[in-house]
Structure 1
Amino acid sequence: MLKDVVVPTALYHLTVAEALEAGKLASPFMAWLWHEGRPIASTKLVDGHGVCDIASWASQQAVAPDTGSPAAVPHTVSVIICTRDRPEQLDRCLASLAGQTFQPHEVLVVDNASSTTETAEVVSRHGHIYLREDRAGLSHARNTGIAAASGDIVAFTDDDTVLHPDWLLRLEAAFDTDHVWAATGLVIPAELRTEAQCIFELGWSFGHGFVRKDYDASYYQKTRMRGTPTWEFGAGASMAFRRDIFNKIGLFDPHLGAGASGCSEDSEIWYRILHAGGLCRYEPASVLYHFHRADMAGLQKQIRAYMRGHVVALWIQYRKSSDIGNLRRLLISLPRYYLRKVCRRVLHGITVPTCTLGDEIAGYFSGLHHIVKNHRSL
């Protein structure tokens, strides 16, 4: 067990008023502070006094106005869920989708070559559209869903999530101007009962803060020479796009994502959006809960896939855009980053920031090998 991880860690969702009384809660815990139906702050692995301090600070701040109101004429939204051999998780996700305050125009479940008929049975029981895509790979599945969708907006979530009732309401409301081509939401852990889940949340969290952020062409121009960090825009488990933009920028790259190089099909398409002059918006008022990998073997496999996919995505982004910043990150910035982490591990021992270092480096070299092996098709 790592010295900076305590398992299990209780999760609390509190109003600011409730958090001011958090001294009554048992430690350790992780808390999210809510105001007017949306999260505004969080505190991790502290005692009751720590969360009280944050609540006291939050109560004295001017809370940003709620910008998540639905448009006068809301868009129609097609929700797409890609899945493979996880019928129980899918059933849980679809149950939460049924409780949305803003109901989707349609729900399409893309079965990416499951080995049984259970997925189809779950979809039928919920009364949604079942599609099967036998080509392995998340990008193929996402593209199959897009081709069948008819909504103005296509929204994606994963089968290992539970959706806050206002998830879709807030995500749709993010498209309040034609300049917004894509939007992402805040992803919160559904549980932290194992060491692997705590490590992922502390070191690889899907959360990107509590303030709306817009990433546009000016941001792209400022960052392109160092490799625009589109992986910071959000998570593929909670993202949406105007359906017509795929005619401008193309579909998800089948060389990326689970079942191919590993991941980063989401961040690569966000990169294309910025390169084409569009805007990506992070809307933290749109919330869902994600079940992180529960065992260390699953976490290690995930981290290797993350880094392999990230490396391949950098190469693909360079090939498509000619932005030299992608090569700079691939060949200079990442090796330097790993060297610093090696030094930190030698000096301070194994902690959360360095405990997955071996898997990160293995994923990096696996990505380079993938590029060399498949360079003609990438």
Structure 2
Amino acid sequence: MRESIPSDLKDVNFPVPIHYLDLASGHIDAVSPPLSDGLVVFLSDGLPVGQAYVEKPEAAAALAERAVRPDTLEHIARVAQTPLRNRDVSILICTKDRPEELRRCLASIPEQSLRPVAIIVVDNASSGDQTRRVAEEAGATYVREDRVGLDFARNAAVRAAKTEFVAFTDDDVVLHRQWLENLMKAFDRPEIACVTGLVLPGELATPAQFIFEKHWSFGRGYLRQDFDQDFYRLHRRYGAPVWTIGAGASQAFRREVFDAIGLFDVRLDMGAAGCSGDSEYWNRLLHHGHVCRYEPTAVSWHFHRKDMKGLAKQIYQYMSGHIAALLVQYQHTGNGGNLRRVLVSFPKYYIGRLRRRFRKGATSNDFFLKQEMLGSVNGALYVLRRWKMRAW
């Protein structure tokens, strides 16, 4: 794929800076001249509480007033006062042939305000032994899983864990020092089976990273959200949009739910259907009456793919996995809304986007429209082939 960028990014200067401004330090009022570009993330008590992209010069104080909500600040204060009762937790990291990224991720774990009982690194068929050496140097338990696929690796990690809770992150993630503590504080009711966290961009150095963050971001905002039976029933006609619950790069579970409703579905692996094993699992949890919670004070940073070719492949896999997950969700739950989303909503959605692209040309929002559509078709065909094979 030719390394080009969408027309609406021609005037963007890369790398795009990410400014972190502390509301309590008095620095906000002192910022001069006005901020003129980049992503601004506001902090309170060391935690992100709001963000905004600067599109024209604007004073930091005015930007903060627009970006930071009072209820977010109140929530952070409540979390700080919440006693920590859940300490029996392991951190699980699945990785393949990325020893330096893994080393960076593992380096953020000793700084955690809540130290995990165990750190388990699952090596998903890496070549060589660098991954093993990096894991063992960090004091992590090393597990080898030779069946290639993220959900094979996740399932191996769950089997290896002996703690009451398990927390997943990825090798291309760096953890805020309160990430694990605040994930665990969020399990304050027995019906909460899963908690996800806020994921911010580690950098915006290239057009590919900027496009991903603007249109495919892992971030879900700065307000706590509970996804319960009301959410599941409200969206039943077209299937619950479970992908809004969070990101697989930052999620924790009660270990017992895997014994109750099964492990991750390996049909949704990268390289098979695509991905989306996490969102399918959240859907399964809701179907069985559990609650999933998004907790914005559990913060981490993800380093997105830097090149456009890699991003194109990733988006193809995302959409392949997304459509496959909807079909698998239908198989697991019998909820016809998932089929209705595939057969009705998505065709209408893409027809509308194609029309806009023909009228206005390719912007960053639809620069990878071809990969989205082909990935969607691949995901549907993959699951249908598997169903046909089972029928025979």
Q: TM-score range by the shorter chain?
A: over 0.9
Structure 1 unaligned blocks of 5 or more? none
2:47 is the alignment partner of 1:38: yes
Q: How does 1:252-267 map to 2 (within 5 A)?
A: 252-267=264-279
Deviation at 1:375, TM superposition (A): 1.8
Structure 2 residue aligned with 1:80, among 73, 92, 95? 92
Structure 2 residue aligned with 1:366, among 345, 359, 378? 378
Deviation at 1:71, TM superposition (A): 3.5
Deviation at 1:68, TM superposition (A): 2.6
Counterparts in 2 of 1:377 and 1:182: CA distance versus 1, 3 Å: farther
Aligned to 1:216: 228
CA–CA separation in structure 2 for the residues paired with 1:72 and 1:60: 25
Structure 1 residue aligned with 2:75, among 58, 65, 74? 65
CA–CA separation in structure 2 for the residues paired with 1:138 and 1:288: 20
Q: How does 1:1-20 map to 2 (within 5 A)?
A: 1-5=5-9, 6=12, 7-16=14-23, 17-20=26-29
SS at match of 2:166: strand
Counterparts in 2 of 1:60 and 1:238: CA distance versus 1, 3 Å: closer
Deviation at 1:74, TM superposition (A): 2.5
Q: How does 1:335-346 map to 2 (within 5 A)?
A: 335-346=347-358
Could you say what the CA RMSD is over the residues aligned between the two structures, in angstroms? 1.7
Given that 1:196 and 1:293 are in contact with CA atoms closer than 8 Å, whether structure 2 keeps it comes out as yes
Which has the larger displacement, 34-43 or 56-65?
A: 56-65
Which has the larger displacement, 342-351 or 12-21?
A: 12-21
Aligned to 2:314: 302
Given that 2:276 and 2:318 are in contact with CA atoms closer than 8 Å, whether structure 1 keeps it comes out as yes
Given that 2:51 and 2:68 are in contact with CA atoms closer than 8 Å, whether structure 1 keeps it comes out as no
CA–CA separation in structure 1 for the residues paired with 2:310 and 2:29: 37
Which has the larger displacement, 267-276 or 54-63?
A: 54-63
Runs of 4+ off more than 6 Å: none
CA–CA separation in structure 2 for the residues paired with 1:259 and 1:112: 13
Q: Deviations over 1:225-258 (max 9, x none)?
A: 1110000000000000000011111100010132
SS at match of 1:110: strand
Q: How does 1:90-169 map to 2 (within 5 A)?
A: 90-169=102-181
Counterparts in 2 of 1:197 and 1:264: CA distance versus 1, 3 Å: same
Q: How does 1:237-316 map to 2 (within 5 A)?
A: 237-316=249-328
Deviation at 1:341, TM superposition (A): 1.1
CA–CA separation in structure 2 for the residues paired with 1:315 and 1:3: 35
CA–CA separation in structure 1 for the residues paired with 2:132 and 2:49: 38
CA–CA separation in structure 1 for the residues paired with 2:333 and 2:382: 20
Which has the larger displacement, 109-118 or 339-348?
A: 339-348
CA–CA separation in structure 2 for the residues paired with 1:310 and 1:45: 32
CA–CA separation in structure 2 for the residues paired with 1:73 and 1:162: 24
CA–CA separation in structure 2 for the residues paired with 1:284 and 1:226: 27
Given that 1:216 and 1:279 are in contact with CA atoms closer than 8 Å, whether structure 2 keeps it comes out as yes
CA–CA separation in structure 1 for the residues paired with 2:323 and 2:146: 26
Which has the larger displacement, 77-86 or 54-63?
A: 54-63
Counterparts in 2 of 1:20 and 1:43: CA distance versus 1, 3 Å: farther
Structure 2 unaligned blocks of 5 or more? none
Identity of aligned residues (%): 43
CA–CA separation in structure 2 for the residues paired with 1:231 and 1:56: 29
Given that 1:344 and 1:354 are in contact with CA atoms closer than 8 Å, whether structure 2 keeps it comes out as no
- Whichever residue aligns with residue 79 of structure 2, its letter is G
SS at match of 1:315: helix
SS at match of 1:358: helix
Which has the larger displacement, 199-208 or 27-36?
A: 27-36
Which has the larger displacement, 256-265 or 158-167?
A: 256-265
Which has the larger displacement, 342-351 or 18-27?
A: 18-27
Deviation at 1:4, TM superposition (A): 2.9
Given that 2:85 and 2:185 are in contact with CA atoms closer than 8 Å, whether structure 1 keeps it comes out as no
Given that 1:185 and 1:283 are in contact with CA atoms closer than 8 Å, whether structure 2 keeps it comes out as yes
Deviation at 1:50, TM superposition (A): 6.3
Given that 2:34 and 2:58 are in contact with CA atoms closer than 8 Å, whether structure 1 keeps it comes out as no
Counterparts in 2 of 1:47 and 1:236: CA distance versus 1, 3 Å: same
- Whichever residue aligns with residue 76 of structure 1, its letter is D
Which has the larger displacement, 17-26 or 148-157?
A: 17-26
How many residues in Structure 1 have an aligned counterpart in Structure 2?
A: 378
Counterparts in 2 of 1:377 and 1:214: CA distance versus 1, 3 Å: farther
Counterparts in 2 of 1:165 and 1:294: CA distance versus 1, 3 Å: same
CA–CA separation in structure 2 for the residues paired with 1:361 and 1:195: 21
CA–CA separation in structure 2 for the residues paired with 1:320 and 1:238: 24
Given that 1:318 and 1:324 are in contact with CA atoms closer than 8 Å, whether structure 2 keeps it comes out as yes
Given that 2:191 and 2:291 are in contact with CA atoms closer than 8 Å, whether structure 1 keeps it comes out as yes
